[in-house]
Chain A
């Protein structure tokens, strides 16, 4: 178990280091940062001043190691636009993104686990086919478009929910539904496949032979085994959701980390862009580690 943990941790650190390098390269893609920051009307002296002020006159490798050295200690540099520390900016915006992500994930699990179980129990009936159709529809639905449609129906026509901002819990209902939609297909399919596999196994036959009730067989025996991959994937899905929430935050004007990144791209605020890429990647790596550990804890066979 310990060896597994250590191995997993080393890989996670290497991935983080690689993403760090990529995030740095990403922001240098445009060639000369100083020209982009100074804007189209800047004179040569302005550009020189900007270059000096932000330390862009130093060799690229020096800049890189400087950034890495600071980032490791939690200092992600200063935002060009907001003139504050990037770490503070991200910390301020993170609660909104996390609330959105957790709302989306909870909704997705609440919808897809019962749907997957019922579809598995009634395999190859019309209900099963309907569930698979819903999964296909969820896969094909563009999230930004679904968001706009919900805004028209529930925001304008029915007037039930606010269409933008983060003032109250009601503000998170529509964005949460839209985000959940993206995870429902995968989670439903996984639950369904897991349940079908479990229901066909020997221990379920034994449980049936013992004369246990149907509910007890389904929920105590089959679901416990089918849930292992679902729980593991749920953690990974949360990582994808945090990265993908940039679109939904923009549609519903939720000022989270994704919105911050989108603003910063538009304003050429490179320290923020590279920091958000790094932070989201590190969160994802951490979540996949949690997912692997959960897998190992729940399923002893994987610990070898």
Chain B
């Protein structure tokens, strides 16, 4: 019996599965909101009005039709802040993934492709990285250097490259011994050319899957840090920050934490569904 095991070889997989499409639709809506946020917000998400604080959302008695999702404790339109928050989440998720992808893929490909001492060093770096408590270190960095978007992105990017490195390492290790790489060597291609033209394109589909899952993780971590007060600086409407600011009112008006929380949950779920679907569509199952 061969060692390859087909897990999940069910009838509805990849692009045929409903989950993938639901994920794609959620991510599509989120991207639309993120890009066109300034054009589609019904109100200024930063405009405070103490006369209309904590208006209730549309499903509750006595709501104001002008403010579909109500207003927060400073009278800011909740729907507008939610849309703007989507922009921030997506922005951070994508930029963090670019930073961590650059680091992780470089390290992983070098280790997997060259092996030997270089690979030992790469494995050591991954082990060390995994032993570092991410939330704590990110909190400490932001706490010491102050809250800013750039700092947050760099910190998370420097902390979240491990999965990229693991996957890039194991996949390029497999590719290294294939015939077309040997052919490229024989044709006299430089190391850089072999890596960039032969190895990278062949492991790209695996990396795309990691990237989607990594975006979801970065969004969750940003929300967590913002919730703890050491993420996105106020008055920017990060969903985590919205939950933190609304926490004092949650026992009287639970919807103030329910709305941004549901948004965060649905977005992360959507990205993960899309990521799982992409993995099945590419036929890549190399999770170890």
Contact = CB atoms under 8 A, between A and B. Distances in A.
Interface of A: 11, 14-15, 18-19, 22, 26-27, 29-30, 36, 123-124, 136-137, 139-145, 148-149, 151-152, 156, 193, 196-197, 200-202, 239, 242-244, 246-247, 250, 258, 261-262, 265-266, 268, 273, 276-277, 280-281, 284-285, 288
Contacts of A265: 139-140, 143-144, 230
Contacts of B254: 152
B228 A262 contact: yes
A29 B265 contact: no
Nearest to A266: B143
B132 A29 contact: no
A143 B5 contact: no
B78 interface: no
Given A143-B224, A201-B1, A285 B261 contact: no
Contacts of A136: 269, 272-273, 276
B50 interface: no
A202 B265 contact: no
Contacts of B137: 26, 277
B144 A139 contact: no
Contacts of B268: 139-140, 142
B135 A142 contact: no
B10 interface: yes
Nearest to A240: B133
B118 to A, nearest CB: 16
Q: Is the interface of A mostly helix, strand, loop or mixed?
A: helix
Q: Interface extent on B, as a size class? A: 35 or more
27 contacts: A11-B124, A14-B124, A15-B128, A19-B131, A26-B141, A27-B140, A123-B10, A124-B11, A136-B272, A140-B216, A140-B266, A142-B265, A143-B224, A144-B223, A145-B243, A145-B261, A145-B264, A152-B250, A193-B7, A197-B5, A239-B131, A244-B133, A262-B228, A265-B139, A265-B140, A265-B144, A281-B132
Contacts of A151: 250
B204 interface: no
Of B7, B10, B141, B144, which is in contact with the most chain A CB atoms at under 10 Å from its CB? B144
Contacts of B273: 136
Given A11-B124, A27-B144, 16 more contacts: A15-B131, A22-B128, A30-B145, A36-B144, A136-B273, A139-B272, A140-B220, A140-B272, A141-B265, A142-B223, A143-B224, A149-B257, A243-B135, A265-B140, A277-B137, A281-B132
B175 interface: no
Interface string B203-216: 00000000000001
B164 interface: no
B136 interface: yes
Contacts of B227: 142, 144, 247
Nearest to A229: B288
B192 interface: no
Contact of B127 (A11, A145, A239): A11
Contacts of A246: 133, 135-136, 139
A262 B225 CA distance: 11
A142 B131 contact: no
Given A19-B128, A140-B268, A30 B136 contact: no
A222 to B, nearest CB: 14
Contact of B265 (A27, A140, A266): A140
Contact of A197 (B7, B240, B269): B7
Nearest to A273: B140
Interface in B99-148: 124, 127-128, 130-137, 139-141, 143-145
3 pairs of A and B residues whose beta carbons are closest in the complex: A243-B133, A140-B269, A265-B143
Contacts of B264: 142, 145
A87 to B, nearest CB: 18
Interface in B211-247: 216, 220, 223-224, 227-228, 230, 240, 243, 247
A258 B216 CA distance: 24
Contact of B220 (A29, A124, A137, A142): A142
A145 B257 contact: yes
Nearest to B273: A136
Contact of B132 (A140, A262, A277): A277
